[in-house]
Chains A and B, each alone.
Chain A
Amino acid sequence: MNTMPPKRMVKLAFKNLGQYKLRAGLTMLGIVFGVCSVVAMLSVGEGANREIQEKIQRMGSQNILIKSVKVPKDESTSGGRQSMLASYGLTYEDARQFSQFVPNLVASTPMKILRYDVQYKARKLQTDVVATVPWFLRVQHYRMVRGRFLAGSDMEFGSPVCVIGSRLARILFAGCDPIGRTLNIDRDAYTVVGIVGDIAQGELPVEGELWLGGENQNVYIPLRTYLNKRGDLFAQWSQGGGVFEKIELHEVILSIDKQENVERAVDAVRRILRKNHKQEDYSIVVPLELIRQARETRRLFNVVLGSIAAISLIVGGIGIMNIMLATVSERTREIGIRRALGATRRDIVLQFLMETLILSLSGGTVGLAIGAVIPLMITATTNVKTVLTFPSFAVAFGVSVTVSVIFGIYPARRAALMDPIEALRHE
């Protein structure tokens, strides 16, 4: 049994579609919109997803973050009596026990995070002051822009030095080099020894290249220096008057050697904190868990997107089926003629399927092109991050072609199963 060579079938299909240019164009539009909405949606979804992933990654997947949390006053440790002193949060004792009992611990990074006015000459800015240890930089994956970070000797001697975020450097020291200059934190003088940027994401930019990640406006000082100068009491002035807070540590980051060991370490941390604290004046953040959650959310997101995409593509597919049915019924006589002249049922099926395939392939291609442009426009106009990925292209294109072919089979079969005698009589 002979059949048409594929090349001629394609030619024939184009010729046939050429008869109904407007109709073919409109049918294609269904697929165009289907595919382009899928591509655009996936790219927005992927963009949002990457942003979350990056934020979480910044915290470090091998880290455990333990933060002090203020509890409502009437439950505070200072008893039922109204007190000016609020004492809560992580203690040095907690930190000591972490170092001693948490398994697979590589580093424990204690931090005090306080809000102070930071001043250089006439410029003043309220910002977070982080009193911490030298290995903070490594644990947080921050990157030095200039100078050095806090050193072991700074801790030992309680030196009045500080490292400032690159954004703060721009704001306070606009125009001049901050290194070696002295700024005031509240009333205390600190000498700037370095400028730190933001997280090093993926590949580090080459030295001297424009660094855009540096939206960091914190000040980092040696923990020892701060304790020497201020101790653990912190006064906060609000409209009603002053409140004294006593917090030994605001945050501790525990770095674990491997991701697999994070879970065990978290259990140990929970046990220690439960034993040491009467109330939950702390919170434990496990980036690894957040990553897992984010993956789960992403999966859900993909299912939702997938459903919407499927619906829009099915609508396109139904459009194709509709048009092909109309075309088949209009071309009944042609089908009869072809059958009388020797076309097998298979030839007829292939002829109509080929037309459907050409419609969906060209619609799919145009859809991909538009779908690739839309995310660029979204990013340019709304600051929403979008990411175009090859799989989203492949999925959109593949699904649209598959759907079209599936919806094209019914009209094509209907054409093929016609009785040639009836078809020839058709007017």
Chain B
Amino acid sequence: MTVPIVELRNAVKEYASGALRVTALRGIDLRIDPGEYAVVMGASGSGKSTLLNLLGCLDHLSAGDYLLGGENISRFSDDQLSDIRSRRIGFIFQSYNLIPQLNVLENIEVPLFYQGVSEKAAAERAVVLAERMGLADRLRHKPMELSGGQQQRVAIARSLVCDPILMLADEPTGNLDSRTGHEILELIDELHAEGKTIVMVTHDDAIAHRAQRVVRFLDGEIVSNDWNGAEKP
């Protein structure tokens, strides 16, 4: 049996919002295997963003367990989670989240920076990825000087830079026109085809069709878990 990339066991997440306790995840179980491409859908407030934050190790579970690549990280310290984020997770955001004062190459290098990778090695790796994303002639440009599609490509390059085992995308096409969005989705398809494990949050049903698997959320619970015609492993 293969070791799953993501395994959530009875995952509960509660927030204390003033006197109110809000339960964002009501004890969900979720397993994502290597090479899977899963789309998470649901209305806002359904818990899908909470799920993404948890998967991305930006947040702790209130109860239950989270195993990433077979390693139970539910009780990890803040520093340990930082390390996991830099080595094993690749983030792609709706609003790209590039650092404005850094140029394309420097932005791509940021995760390597926190791993202590040497400047030279980091630059070499960043150049390869930038070229692959079609940004060869934009290496020294600042994010402000790039189009939305180009910025998202930089973000994708950055998410790939430390060869993560899990890629998380939060509405990656939300800020793009449909043509550019399409290009980005094709890029993601390509990554999937290469064997990357991808979890993407989206509102868009059209996008959902591209994925193998659609997980639908409602009120902090998984209401459906469909394999789009594919075989359930």
Contact = CB atoms under 8 A, between A and B. Distances in A.
Q: Does A pair with B?
A: yes
Interface of A: 1-5, 8, 15-16, 18-19, 333-334, 336-347, 420-421, 424
Nearest to A12: B113
Q: Which 5 A-B pairs have the closest CB atoms?
A: A342-B86, A2-B116, A342-B114, A344-B82, A341-B111
Contacts of B110: 337-338, 341
B119 A344 contact: no
A346 B85 CA distance: 15
A1 B101 contact: no
B125 to A, nearest CB: 14
Given A2-B116, A424-B58, 19 more contacts: A2-B83, A5-B116, A8-B119, A15-B102, A18-B101, A334-B100, A337-B110, A339-B58, A339-B82, A340-B58, A341-B86, A341-B91, A341-B114, A341-B158, A342-B82, A342-B86, A420-B58, A424-B93, A424-B97
Contact of A342 (B53, B99, B101, B115): B115
B87 interface: yes
Contacts of B97: 333, 336-337, 340, 424
A3 B116 contact: yes
A342 B79 contact: no
A238 to B, nearest CB: 83
Contact of B116 (A4, A333, A338): A4
B59 interface: yes
Contacts of A4: 113-114, 116
A342 B158 CA distance: 12
Contacts of B83: 1-2, 342, 344
A340 B91 contact: yes
A347 B114 contact: yes
A210 B114 CA distance: 66
B97 to A, nearest CB: 5
Nearest to A11: B119
Interface of B: 53, 56, 58-59, 78-79, 82-83, 85-87, 91, 93, 97-102, 110-111, 113-116, 119, 158
Contacts of A18: 101
A381 to B, nearest CB: 45
A339 B119 CA distance: 20
B113 A344 contact: no
A3 B91 CA distance: 20
Contact of B99 (A8, A334, A344, A345): A334
Contacts of A424: 58, 93, 97
A344 B114 contact: yes
Contacts of A3: 114, 116
A343 B82 contact: yes
17 contacts: A1-B79, A2-B114, A2-B115, A4-B116, A15-B102, A18-B101, A340-B91, A341-B85, A341-B86, A341-B114, A342-B85, A342-B86, A343-B82, A344-B82, A421-B53, A421-B58, A421-B59
A280 B58 CA distance: 87
A322 B113 CA distance: 28
Chain B CB within 10 Å — which of A2, A4, A15, A342 has the most? A342
Contacts of B158: 341
B38 to A, nearest CB: 20
A388 to B, nearest CB: 40
A339 B83 CA distance: 10
B14 to A, nearest CB: 15
Chain B CB within 10 Å — which of A15, A341, A421, A424 has the most? A341
A342 B78 contact: no
A1 B102 CA distance: 25
Nearest to A17: B101
B115 A344 contact: no
Contact of A345 (B79, B86, B98): B79
A336 B119 CA distance: 23
A16 B99 CA distance: 10
Contacts of B101: 15-16, 18-19
Contacts of B78: 344-345
A333 B78 CA distance: 19
A278 B93 CA distance: 100
A339 B82 CA distance: 7
A341 B82 CA distance: 8
B114 A340 contact: no
A246 B224 CA distance: 123
A192 to B, nearest CB: 81
A345 B87 CA distance: 16
Contacts of B119: 8
B81 to A, nearest CB: 9
Contacts of A333: 97
Contacts of A15: 101-102
B169 to A, nearest CB: 13
Given A4-B116, A18-B101, A19-B101, A344 B91 contact: no
Contacts of B99: 334, 337-338
Contacts of B56: 340
Contacts of B87: 342
Nearest to A427: B95
Nearest to B122: A8
Contacts of A420: 58
A404 to B, nearest CB: 22
Contacts of A421: 53, 58-59
B140 to A, nearest CB: 13
B117 to A, nearest CB: 9
B113 A8 contact: yes
A35 B215 CA distance: 62
Contacts of B82: 339, 342-345, 347
A342 B82 CA distance: 5
Contacts of B116: 2-5
Contacts of A336: 97
